[in-house]
């Protein structure tokens, strides 16, 4: 007779799982960004179209120089005239970099690698903003090069020893990078590429400009504290006005940028809290 002897259940050996550090998260996000052709197409389009717009705008400087009382202050405005075009493209990159993962479901894999979630969000944000910052610096350089011959011929060269010119030329990358961070936060909040792009572009350009045209002083005073209107002060020459918004603002340039930065930080903080609480 055969006797069945129960065998003791074997416990599979435990495998030590090393937590994913922030450096590895950054490398992973860089690989994702580098592998997405759409990101590079949008960044490239923003740079090329923005620079082309700056070059075309500079063709009219001879007429401006003849009519403006202080034309030598306007060179940096024309050299960076493509900032609005770049704002559309780079804000789109900000939304797509996070909302696109929700659309494909890849966000679940990302959050499995970083269970606390917020470091993954921070890594993705840093990589996105860094890419936009580099693209913005290229935009300023190419736009300046495209506009330089016309500006020099019109007596309106960019002078980086002038505080206003230096602020505007250096401020464009800061403005665009902050706008992309705000767009990133919106994408993380709405979790939809289409909705995120509609919200960002609608709020940053359409709504703010529309509210600024309503002839009611209390409303106009309030609109200058909205993100684009406030941040545009950093790249605005008061002798010319803003090429980004029609809203008139009395905020000093760096104060305006500080207001925009506060909007971005607040939106990102809200996105981090909701990411931690909501299901992916």
Digit-coded pLDDT (tens) for 94-138: 999 999 888 877 877 777 777 778 888 999 999 999 999 999 999
Chain mean pLDDT for the chain = 86
199's CB contacts (< 8 A; 6+ apart) are 186, 190
Rounded Cα distance between 127 and 34, Å, is 10
Please spell the DSSP secondary structure of 143-200, one letter per residue. Answer: HHHHHHHHHHHTT----TTSHHHHHHHHHHHHHHHHHHHHHHHHHHHH--HHHHHHHH
Taking alpha carbons only, the member of 98, 94, 103 closest to residue 121 is 98
157's CB contacts (< 8 A; 6+ apart) are 72, 75, 148, 151
Confidence class for position 50, pLDDT limits 50, 70, 90: very high
Q: Taking the model in full, what pTM does it have?
A: 0.89
Taking alpha carbons only, the member of 135, 166, 167 closest to residue 49 is 135
State which of 19-23, 73-77, 140-144, 250-254 shows the largest mean pLDDT.
140-144
SS3 60: helix
Q: Which residue has the higher pLDDT, 8 or 145?
A: 145
The tokens for 61 are 């400087």
Find the Cα–Cα–Cα–Cα dihedral 174, 180, 181, 186, rounded to 10°: 150
254's CB contacts (< 8 A; 6+ apart) are 234
20-24, 59-63, 66-70, 216-220: the lowest-pLDDT one: 66-70
57 has pLDDT over 90? no
DSSP assigned state of 245: -
Cα separation values, 251 from 15, 168, 224, 231, 237, Å: 58, 15, 8, 10, 12
User: What value does the mean pLDDT take over residues 9-33?
Assistant: 73
For the chain, the distance separating the N- and C-terminal CA atoms, rounded to the nearest angstrom, is: 58
What is the pLDDT, as a whole number, of residue 73? 72
Percent of the chain whose predicted confidence (pLDDT) is above 90:
50
69 has pLDDT over 60? no
169 has pLDDT over 90? yes
4 has pLDDT over 60? no
What is the pLDDT, as a whole number, of residue 170? 96
**In DSSP terms, which residues pair with 59 in a beta bridge?**
none
Rounded Cα distance between 42 and 186, Å, is 18
Confidence class for position 93, pLDDT limits 50, 70, 90: very high
Residue with tokens 């990358």: 173
User: What value does the mean pLDDT take over residues 213-242?
Assistant: 85
Rounded Cα distance between 40 and 131, Å, is 9
What is the pLDDT, as a whole number, of residue 280? 56
């Amino acid at each position: 007779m055969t006797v069945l002897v129960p065998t003791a259940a074997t416990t599979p050996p435990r495998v030590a799982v090393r937590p994913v550090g922030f450096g590895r998260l950054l490398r992973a996000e860089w690989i994702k960004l580098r592998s997405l052709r759409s990101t590079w197409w949008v960044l490239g389009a923003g740079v090329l179209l923005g620079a082309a717009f700056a070059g075309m705008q500079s063709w009219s400087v001879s007429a401006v120089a003849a009519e403006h009382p202080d034309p030598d202050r306007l060179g940096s405005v024309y050299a960076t005239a493509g900032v609005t075009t770049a704002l559309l493209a780079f804000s789109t990159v900000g939304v797509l970099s996070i909302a696109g993962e929700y659309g494909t479901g890849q966000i679940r894999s990302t959050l499995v690698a970083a269970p606390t979630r917020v470091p993954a969000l921070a890594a993705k944000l840093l990589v996105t903003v860094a890419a936009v910052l580099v693209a913005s610096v290229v935009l300023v350089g190419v736009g300046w090069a495209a506009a330089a011959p016309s500006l020099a011929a019109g007596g309106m060269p960019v002078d980086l020893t002038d505080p206003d010119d230096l602020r505007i030329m250096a401020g464009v990358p800061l403005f665009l990078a902050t706008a992309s961070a705000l767009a990133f936060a919106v994408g993380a909040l709405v979790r939809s590429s289409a909705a995120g792009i509609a919200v960002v572009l609608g709020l940053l350009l359409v709504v703010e400009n529309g509210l600024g045209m309503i002839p009611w002083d209390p409303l106009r005073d309030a609109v200058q504290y909205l993100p684009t209107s406030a941040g545009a002060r950093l790249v605005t020459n008061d002798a010319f006005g803003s090429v980004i918004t029609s809203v008139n603002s009395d905020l000093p340039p760096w104060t305006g940028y500080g207001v925009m930065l506060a909007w971005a930080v607040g939106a990102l903080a809200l996105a981090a809290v909701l990411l931690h609480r909501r299901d992916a």
